[in-house]
Amino acid sequence: MTWDLLLPTGHGSKQAAGKTSKLLTLRGSSRTISGMGKARKNQKAALPTPTELRLLEILWGIGKGTIDDIVKASGETPPPNYKTVQTLLRIMERKGQVDHKPQGRAFLFRPIVGAAMSTVYPSVTS
């Protein structure tokens, strides 16, 4: 199934009357999204960066937790910045490495990838 978003061209021009320009195409089966002529397929899970791996190691250790839990469990002095951890977790969620669910006003994050991922890179804590 394919859906196209078409926009009129020329904005009031007599020559362009009735002509349209394709802005966006969505295809359900192949999950292709293209905008303004640029096609983009859903990416496969990417390997974590060393910083993402450090957050995964913390999550593997505590199982699941809020951003505050993760910051406290890092044991670093000074602790990592809350907003930085939040941004990294959102990036990791898009990559398919972590997931979250609401818990009150906070989000509870949990790792999706297993601890076997740590064999891809040497431990960043050692």
pLDDT in tens, 71-84: 999 999 999 999 99
**pTM for the structure as a whole:** 0.59
Architecture of the domain whose range is 50-119: Orthogonal Bundle (1.10)
Q: In the chain, what are the domain boundaries?
A: 2-40, 50-119
Burial of 96 from C-beta contacts in 10 A (0-12 / 13-18 / 19+): middle
Look at 41 and 52; give whichever has higher pLDDT.
52
Alpha carbon distance 100, 65 (integer Å): 9
Look at 88 and 114; give whichever has higher pLDDT.
88
- Say what the pLDDT of residue 55 is: 96
